Amino acid sequence: MSGHRIAAITRRLLQGFRRDRRTLALLFVAPLIILGLLGYMLRNSSTPAVGVANEDGGPLGAVVASALDQSTKITTTTIAASDGDAKLKDGSIVAYIVFPSDFSQRAQSGVIAPQVHLEGSQPNAAAQALQALQAALATAASNRPGAVRVQPEVSYLYGGPNLDTLDYFGAAAIGLIVFFLVFVVTIVSFLNERSQGTLERLMASPLRRGEIVVGYMIGFTVLALIQSAEVLLFALYVLNVHNEGNVLLIFGIEALMAITAVNLGIFLSMFARTEFQAVQFIPLVIVPQFLLSGILFPVRSEPTWLQYLSDVLPLTYAVNALRDVMVKGADLTWSSLQLDVGVVAAFVVAFVVAGTATLRRRVA
Amino acid sequence: MEVNSVTKVFGDIKALDRVTLRVRRGEIYGLLGPNGSGKTTLIRAIVGLIAPKSGTVTVLGRKLPNLDVLREVGYMTQQAALYPGLSVEENLRFFAAINGVESGVKDALEFVDLYARRGSVVSTLSGGMRQRCSLACALVHRPQLLLLDEPTVGVDPQLRVQFWEQFRRMAAGGTTIIVSSHVMDEAERCRRLGLIQYGRLFAEGSPSEVRAQAGTQNLEEAFLKLAGEKVS
């Protein structure tokens, strides 16, 4: 071992980085952005909105309702029980709790039985609502000596008590996996086209730029479709991820995501000169989308300004569409699904245009 | 093929400075100049890869940019630009297809003496074979105008002789060839030469005319003398 020779290697490495501003930025700026985003989301996310309908003829309903108001786990609003399902569907609340007219009366005989209606596609939010209710009931029960049985009647708008974590995340995960892998493969191979000089040859041929982009898109889409089918079948039949919707529709949405990823890859390859730089797009493009697209945390519980950011990411719409289909059983007659699919398709068109427009600048 | 007063600027460097030249059908025209003199930029302007800041390029009577005329142009880049994962034949078929032709693959492969290796994957070929394959890809669609950017860099002398023999045969068949080089003995083989330095085409003529202009015995001295006189 020679200290001089080792020092030469170390120095060479650091010298190279000094000129590679982008890598330095990645090393020292990206962690702050990613960690900051995560921290901000976890600390400042709003608590789930829960509707409370108190129809109790006696005093107990009001006691529990006010205890719920005090809870820091949820944000309560007073609603009419008959409006509850509509509010669950439009997403303004994740659960509503009804204290039926005989709530106090039954409590006298030792049974506390509120009705809990859960939206069912957001496991974290539902768990928080249930915890808040349990805490509120414990407060109420402590005022009332004697043996009491707490027996909430829980019902689900979508899914049910048998759905586990994988069932909720599986839908989003199959989309994310396909998006991520297709993106990486596309950006690197389009970059190869440039670094090996063949792109220059293509541009000096009668090929039109649009023909290059669309040809690439179709080629990668063929691969992506096979991958999508494989991932989907594995999720459904090996992992037994819960599915309420049409398998072909899921496949269609996945395919659309893959095509988005292909075109995003072609477009972004413009901004990378080496494969090394292309790989750096992963933390910049994939990680924020992973955090912000509603895969882990519902978009509506994010701080407001992050919601705006979520709203311009293609993955947000794609994940939402996949969840709607697999957990809620949505089909193309649902306006929310039409919107999601429409937005993702619009992203595809935008990336094709952007990729084509920037192709010439890449060669010159 | 005509280049008329073309100027191209990169930042504050004038890569091409009012370059004008005209090449006739069936001619082998050599662009001679050191590295960084503007040879590659000129060739890229002729195939329409870069848009000149001012001036025009006319190929086969049509003004560029024009995609149709590119069908009649073959372009061999400085490094062998090939798909390393495809076989020799697959590469040729691809470049034939994007130029809209089906046939000619076998002829092109025989022309560069690679027919026997047509099934080999490009990444397994030697540098010289890649260079030949790259040449074959540039002429597989039988272009009327062939642009070769330092085609013999890294090519051994024996192969270089073969290359030039092929260029002469093609020119005899009516193909116009523009070839860049910084090797003076190659320049001797061209019908006409354009001497280029700092983006300026400062002398033109056949090799003997260029020598006579400078009053020197060989092209290397002629280049240096003329460059010293005309480019400051």
Residue A27 pLDDT: 86
pLDDT bracket for residue A364 (50, 70, 90): very low
A145 vs B: CB within 8 A: no
Q: Which residues of A touch B95 (CB under 8 A)?
A: 201, 205
> What's the whole-model pTM score?
0.80
| A142, A106 contact by CB (below 8 A) | no
* Interchain proximity B81–A364, CB inside 8 Å: no
Strand order in the sheet with A75-78: A75-78, A49-54, A95-99, A115-118, A153-156
Q: How would residue A332 be classed by pLDDT, with cut points 50, 70 and 90?
A: confident
How far apart (Å, rounded) are the C-alpha atoms in residues A318 and A255? 10
Question: From the CA of B68, how many Å to the nearest CA of chain A?
Answer: 6
Of A198, A206, A364, the CB nearest to B49: A364
Quote the pLDDT of residue A290: 87
Give yes or no for A364 touching B (CB within 8 A). Answer: yes
In single-letter form, the type of residue at position A112 comes to: I
Contact: B68, A206; criterion CB under 8 Å: yes
**Is A3 part of the contact surface with chain B (CB cutoff 8 Å)?**
no
User: Residue A206 and residue B100: Cβ atoms within 8 Å?
Assistant: yes
**A207 close to B (CB below 8 A):** yes
- Check A197 against B79: CB less than 8 A apart: yes
- The pLDDT confidence band at residue A10, using thresholds 50, 70 and 90, is very high
The mean of the pLDDT values for chain A is 85
A188-192, A345-349, B65-69, B137-141: which range is least confident on average? B65-69
Which of A311, A318, A309, A209 lies closest to A266, judged by CA?
A: A209
Choose from A198, A211, A216, A361 for mutation: most chain B CBs within 10 A: A198
| Cα three-residue angle A34-A36-A37, rounded to 5 degrees | 65
Please list the rounded mean pLDDT of every run of 10 residues in chain B (232 residues).
77 83 90 87 88 86 83 89 94 93 90 91 91 92 92 80 87 92 83 89 88 85 83 60
pLDDT value at A45 more than 80 = no
- Please indicate whether, in this complex, the C-beta atoms of A201 and B95 are within 8 angstroms of each other: yes
CB of A187 closer than 8 Å to CB of A355:
no
- Residue to mutate among B16, B44, B69, B178, with most A CBs inside 10 A, is B44
Could you tell me if A70 lies within 8 Å of chain B, comparing CB atoms? no
Q: Which residues contact A62 (CB under 8 A, 6 or more apart)?
A: A54, A56
| Cα B101 to the center of its chain, rounded Å | 22
Residues of B in contact with A202 (CB under 8 A): 98
Distance, CA of A282 to CA of A288 (rounded, Å): 9
B162 residue type, one letter: Q
Rounded to whole angstroms, the Cα distance separating B83 from B92 reads 10
The answer to whether A202 faces chain B, any CB pair under 8 Å, is yes
B16, B70, B130, best to mutate vs chain A, most A CBs in 10 Å: B70
Whether the complex's predicted ipTM is more than 0.95 is answered with: no
CA B127 to chain centre: 19
3 state SS of B176 = strand
> What's residue B148's pLDDT?
92
Distance of CA A61 to the CA centre of its chain: 36
Contact between A201 and B75 using a beta-carbon 8 Å cutoff: yes
- In 3-state terms, what secondary structure has residue B14? strand
pLDDT band at A154 (very low <50, low <70, confident <90, very high): confident
- Residue A181 CB partners (closer than 8 Å, separation 6+): A227
Most B CBs within 10 Å, among A205, A208, A212, A363, to test the B interface: A205
Q: How far is CA B178 from the centre of its chain?
A: 4
Quote the CA–CA distance of B226 and B195 in Å, as a whole number.
9
pLDDT given at position B73: 92
Closest-CA distance of chain A to residue B213, Å: 36
Q: Are strands A95-99 and A49-54 parallel, antiparallel or unpaired?
A: parallel
Residue with tokens 């930029």: B41
Measured between CA atoms, how close is B229 to chain A, in angstroms? 32
For A304, list phi and psi in degrees, rounded to 5.
-55, -45
